[in-house]
Amino acid sequence: MSRPPAPSGDDLLKVLTALGNPHRMRIVAALGGGRNYVSALAREIGIGRPLLHMHLQRLEAAGLVTGTLELAANGKAMKYFELTPFAYVLTPETVAGAALTLTTELTKEEKTTMKETTS
């Protein structure tokens, strides 16, 4: 009876767009072997460091990985990333449930209204 908590629509959307990319899937795979720092990861996967930086940001924003800036013994600052243990189930029901709480895709009128109201 213990069911995983139903994610909000926006959260699930962030997770799906985060994982829906070959590079980011490979990053998850690479981090499966253990934590690693950015430059080493870039070499391992074979992409540039600024590019990897952006992908890691996206994964972290979705809550799938965690970055920690640490000072190594030699004094160098290194940012280690590791996997967050996540578990999402994708079925018509879970997707439909999440879709109900989506706040995205507002019409242009709604957007301008929100800007006016917020400002």
Partner DNA sequence: TGAACCCGTCAAAAGGATCTGACACATGTC
Partner DNA sequence: GACATGTGTCAGATCCTTTTGACGGGTTCA
Closest CA to 86 of 16, 9, 10: 16
Measure the CA–CA gap between 44 and 27, rounded to whole angstroms.
10
Locate tokens 């629509």: which residue? 9
**Residue 95 contacts which entry, DNA, its own copies, none (Cβ below 5-8 A, type-dependent):** its own copies
Distance of CA 87 to the CA centre of its chain: 13
49 or 99: whose CB is closer to DNA?
A: 49
Q: Which stretch in 4-12, 71-79, 84-92, 95-103 sits in contact with DNA by CB under 7 A?
A: 71-79
Give me 2's structure tokens: 């213990």
Measure the CA–CA gap between 11 and 106, rounded to whole angstroms.
17
**Residue 114 contacts which entry, DNA, its own copies, none (Cβ below 5-8 A, type-dependent):** none
Q: What are phi and psi of 81, to 5 degrees?
A: -115, 145
When asked if residue 58 is in the footprint of DNA (CB under 7 A), the reply is yes
Binding interface with its own copies (CB under 8 A) = 9, 12-13, 15-17, 19-23, 25-26, 28-29, 31-32, 83, 85-93, 95-100, 102, 104-105
Out of 79, 88, 94, 97, point to the residue binding DNA (CB under 7 A). Answer: 79
Q: What are phi and psi of 82, to 5 degrees?
A: -140, 160
Interface contacts to DNA, rule CB under 7 A? 17, 21, 23, 37-40, 47-51, 53-55, 58, 67, 69, 74-79, 105
